[in-house]
Amino acid sequence: MDKYMSIITNFGCHGKCPYCIVRENGIDVPETTLEGLDSLLTRYVENDCNFISLSGGGDPLHEFRQHMDYYMKLFKLTRALDIPLEMHTSYLDAGFAFPVEEFSRVVYHLRDINKLNNVDKFGMEIVRVVFVVTEEMTVKDIDYIQMFVEESDKISELSFRQMVGPNFETQYWLHDYLKQGHEEGKWHYIEQNDYNLYYVNGQVYEKFSDIHK
Ligand code: SF4
């Protein structure tokens, strides 16, 4: 099983998610700095990781043109050890201007089923979409998403993850149905356990909830 070092960035955010885990839980991720990358490889190696992902704290691709020095430094470091990279973003058009070819996988976080039509593949990257399951979501929605992804020539992976309420309690909307589909290999179903190590400007955390509250 892959072991991820998950870089939690804070370059700011569009703030448009209807439910924001960061806002609701008072997570205060410090602003991402260039120097914050200095111990990345040391922490990666000492923790026996084999993948690096970027997520937020905010959206890692928020105003990315202003943060290309950070990404150039990251690419230089990860190329040196041939480390595969994964990007988590909700900016569907970023690949038109951002070098997504540096990433093995791009995971698009979608808030609206209709946005599936806007997901693109820009090169050799694996494209995954992830939906946070809400109270309003129905089995029909889940089935529609699954069929869309199955027929798509751009999207090859699908995940559903449960919402986290204030105080980090996991919700269980459509839990049995999602679990069954996961077991049948139709999609990945992620309950909200901490399964990564989190890297924030040189510090490593085992729990997301421990990041600079
Ligand atoms: S991308 Fe993350 S930080 Fe930004 S609004 Fe959505 S949940 Fe909140």
Please give the distance, rounded to the nearest whole angstrom, from the Cα atom of residue 117 to the centre of ligand 1.
21
Q: What CATH number has the domain bearing residue 182?
A: 3.20.20.70
Which residue among 11, 19, 23, 32 is best mutated to probe the pocket of ligand 1, counting the most ligand atoms within 8 A of its Cβ?
A: 23
Ligand 1 atom closest to residue 56's alpha carbon, by position in its atom list: 2
- How many structural domains does the chain have? 1
Cα-to-centroid distance, 23 and ligand 1 (Å): 8
- Gap from CA of 57 to ligand 1 centroid (Å): 7
Instruction: Write out pLDDT tens, residues 84-98.
Output: 999 999 999 988 999
In the numeric block, the tokens 């070819």 are attached to 101
- The answer to whether the CB of 110 is under 6 A from ligand 1 is no
Phi/psi at 142 (nearest 5 deg)? -60, -45
Nearest to 6, CA basis, from 177, 160, 213, 198: 198
Domain that holds residue 109: 4-210
Q: Is the ipTM of this complex over 0.90?
A: yes
Residue 184 banded pLDDT, cuts 50, 70, 90: very high
Please tell me the number of Cα atoms within 13 Å of 110 on its side-chain side. 23
Q: What pLDDT does residue 18 have? A: 67
User: In whole angstroms, what is the distance from residue 180 CA to residue 177 CA?
Assistant: 5
Distance of CA 191 from the midpoint of ligand 1 (Å): 18
Q: How confident is the model over 5-59, as pLDDT tens digits?
A: 999 999 998 888 766 777 777 778 999 999 999 999 999 999 999 999 999 888 9
28 lines ligand 1 (CB under 6 A): no
